[in-house]
Chain A
Amino acid sequence: MNSAEYDIIIIGAGPAGISAAVLADQHKASVLVLDENCTPGGQIYRAIEKNQKSDNEWLGQDYQDGLPLIEGFRRSRVNYQHSAKVWHLSGAKAVHYSVNGKSHSAKGEQILVATGAQERPFPVLGWTLNGVMSAGAAQILLKESGVVYEDAVFVGTGPLLYLIAHQYISAGIPIKAIIDTTPRGNYLRALRHSFGVLKNTKNIFQGWRWKREIIKSGTLYISNISDVRINGSDSVASIEYCQRSKWKNLDCKQVFLHQGVTPELNTSLSAGCDKSWDARQVCWTIDVDQYGQSSIDGISVAGDASSIAGGVAAAQRGSIAALNMLYNLELISSGDRKALSKPFKKKLSKEMAVRPFIDSLFKPHLRYRTPQDNETIVCRCEEVTLAQIKESIGVGCKGPSQLKSFTRCGMGPCQGRLCGLSVTEILTKELEIREEQAGYYNVRPPIKPVTLAELASLDET
């Protein structure tokens, strides 16, 4: 087995990974970027090169702003492997990945995990029915392929929900309804953080403009609800929502759900990086220092993969992490590291100033983070319901790992990605403990399902 060696291996080609790669390349480090998608840009700038050639203005300026980043990446000497599924990152900085069913391995002096975010699970009754997808999925279909669904219902909270709804409306695609689950109390709580908004008014005004234009378009906009459930036998027939203690029914065939985004944990956790519960973002975040260095020597985590701060912040955090890795590689001095990271830190602090406001405003209510109905499926893969989890807790189950052996919850192909956060919070609630005590699954390799043939092919490469 030959293992290619690099100064730096970066997992993920979103804004954090790309920014880091370009900067490291400029300072003569050898860099390998592994990315799951077939083109660079991550989720935020997905398919941006393709869309540049069309006149899809409704995708918005923030999206188009990503292009120079991608162009710089294409011009660099960075080794870029697209369509690469990383299935193992060891604490010894070895990366195993597979491309087209064939496995490869590479070693890096320094590793940067820049795997971005995923959507928070939104376990409501009926969320496994055909015709229910995430709002992120709607956006991917739109950005990558120009594919849309007319008269869909969008449900949830968070900037991405307004963004995709605004893009639909701007592109002339009718939306049946937007059911906004933002808790009413959040508006007041967010106001306490309005000082930070003054440092970065652009983001906030843009959000307001989206919401105003959505409402002005005549789209049915429903808010102040206390519960939601989706009906249907095999596929969606209708959605019901509870408003002022009354259930109301809305016929529809397609529902897009969203409750914000959370860090992609599996890659960092499998390498042994420490994590902490973030009460404001209500999710696990990966512990990193000011340069993105994790608790494991030589492994850094940047961008939304450590904690949620958005695409612009991710680019700054990627650059800062690159400078630190270059310093660790003795390619730049500690003085250079400090001086060169200054402009990135300045831009980052502007982005971070607005986070307390955004996080408070869009903090999803506990009732949408953990199911209200006992029959709701929590683990989609193994079809484990809230009732089954409660039953296991009732007979002495104390944590996520035990829950696996009790119910197989979290043991399917998604490896807990779509149930892990809910499980932490269900245990916290039921056992009346803190999230840190409840913990998370022990994430072990392979972090993506691989076939035996794929594993065996390592020997041939």
Chain B
Amino acid sequence: MFKSINSNQGELITIYFEGKTLNVPKDYNVATALLWAGVCDFRETTLNNMKRGPYCMMGVCFDCLININGMDNQQSCTIQVSDGMKIKRQVINSSGKK
């Protein structure tokens, strides 16, 4: 499991992943916040329904794509968390339908 080495994580805010409440440090990006909260399965690939999660953490690989506030294909390693953010695992089948 990912964990923080800082004894004080500063201010926590509330985000939702698949309806579940997560209290996460305010200055984390979405990918970091989810990994820290124990979530590593971010999406399913369109072709073979393989489970994927963040790989590069620097905006290059696009493997951390996730649904944020109803929008698919959000690059979670480049977006800061914000209070009340609703995040969902991204599942889009090859015909583009959910």
Q: A130-B41, A235-B51, A449-B73 are in contact. Are A141 and B60 (CB under 8 A)?
A: no
Question: Which residue of chain B lies nearest to A140 when distances are taken between CB atoms in the complex?
Answer: B57
Chain A residues, CB < 8 A from B53: 130-131
Q: A130-B41, A234-B51 are in contact. Are A136 and B5 (CB under 8 A)?
A: no
B1-55 contacts to A, CB under 8 A, are: 1-6, 25, 27-29, 32, 35-36, 40-41, 45, 47-48, 50-55
Most buried by B among A172, A235, A380: A380
Compute how far the CA of A142 lies from the CA of B35 in the bound complex, rounded to whole angstroms.
12
Most buried by B among A119, A130, A142: A130
Choice from A118, A144, A147 contacting B60 with Cβ under 8 Å: A118
Most buried by A among B4, B35, B56, B78: B56
Q: A137-B58, A146-B5, A414-B60 are in contact. Are A38 and B32 (CB under 8 A)?
A: no
Chain B residues, CB < 8 A from A381: 62
Chain A residues, CB < 8 A from B93: none
Q: How large is the interface on B (under 10, 10 to 19, 20 to 34, 35 or more residues)?
A: 35 or more
Q: Does B66 contact A (CB under 8 A)?
A: no
Q: Does A5 contact B (CB under 8 A)?
A: no
Compute how far the CA of A414 lies from the CA of B92 in the bound complex, rounded to whole angstroms.
17
Asked if B62 and A145 make an inter-chain contact with CB atoms under 8 angstroms apart, the answer reads no
Q: Does A245 contact B (CB under 8 A)?
A: no
Chain B residues, CB < 8 A from A136: 56-58
Q: Mark B50-77, 1 if CB is under 8 A from A, else 0.
A: 1111111111111101000000010000
Chain B residues, CB < 8 A from A119: 56, 60
Asked if B35 and A141 make an inter-chain contact with CB atoms under 8 angstroms apart, the answer reads yes
Asked if A412 and B50 make an inter-chain contact with CB atoms under 8 angstroms apart, the answer reads no
Asked if B3 and A36 make an inter-chain contact with CB atoms under 8 angstroms apart, the answer reads no
Question: Which residue of chain B lies nearest to A144 when distances are taken between CB atoms in the complex?
Answer: B32
Asked if B57 and A141 make an inter-chain contact with CB atoms under 8 angstroms apart, the answer reads yes
Asked if B5 and A141 make an inter-chain contact with CB atoms under 8 angstroms apart, the answer reads no
Asked if A128 and B50 make an inter-chain contact with CB atoms under 8 angstroms apart, the answer reads yes
Q: A118-B60, A148-B3, A414-B61 are in contact. Are A130 and B80 (CB under 8 A)?
A: no
Compute how far the CA of A85 lies from the CA of B3 in the bound complex, rounded to whole angstroms.
29
Asked if B54 and A36 make an inter-chain contact with CB atoms under 8 angstroms apart, the answer reads no
Asked if A147 and B32 make an inter-chain contact with CB atoms under 8 angstroms apart, the answer reads yes
Q: Does A43 contact B (CB under 8 A)?
A: yes
Q: Does A290 contact B (CB under 8 A)?
A: no
Asked if A137 and B56 make an inter-chain contact with CB atoms under 8 angstroms apart, the answer reads yes
Chain B residues, CB < 8 A from A118: 56, 58, 60
Chain A residues, CB < 8 A from B48: 383
Q: A134-B55, A147-B36 are in contact. Are A383 and B6 (CB under 8 A)?
A: no
Asked if A383 and B4 make an inter-chain contact with CB atoms under 8 angstroms apart, the answer reads no
Compute how far the CA of A420 lies from the CA of B55 in the bound complex, rounded to whole angstroms.
17
Choice from A130, A145, A412 contacting B25 with Cβ under 8 Å: A145
Chain A residues, CB < 8 A from B57: 133-134, 136-137, 140-141
| Partner-B contacts on A (CB < 8 A) | 36, 38, 43, 50, 54, 83, 85, 118-119, 128, 130-134, 136-137, 140-142, 144-150, 171-173, 234-235, 380-383, 412-414, 417-418, 449
Q: A149-B3, A150-B1 are in contact. List 19 more A-B contacts (CB 8 A).
A: A43-B58, A118-B60, A128-B50, A130-B40, A130-B52, A133-B57, A144-B29, A145-B4, A147-B32, A149-B2, A171-B5, A380-B61, A381-B62, A382-B47, A383-B45, A383-B47, A383-B50, A417-B60, A418-B60
> What 5 A-B pairs are tightest by C-beta distance, nearest first?
A137-B57, A413-B62, A146-B6, A140-B57, A234-B51
19 residue pairs from A and B, CB less than 8 Å apart: A85-B78, A118-B58, A118-B60, A119-B56, A130-B51, A133-B55, A136-B57, A137-B55, A141-B35, A145-B25, A145-B36, A146-B5, A147-B35, A171-B5, A234-B41, A235-B40, A383-B45, A383-B50, A414-B62
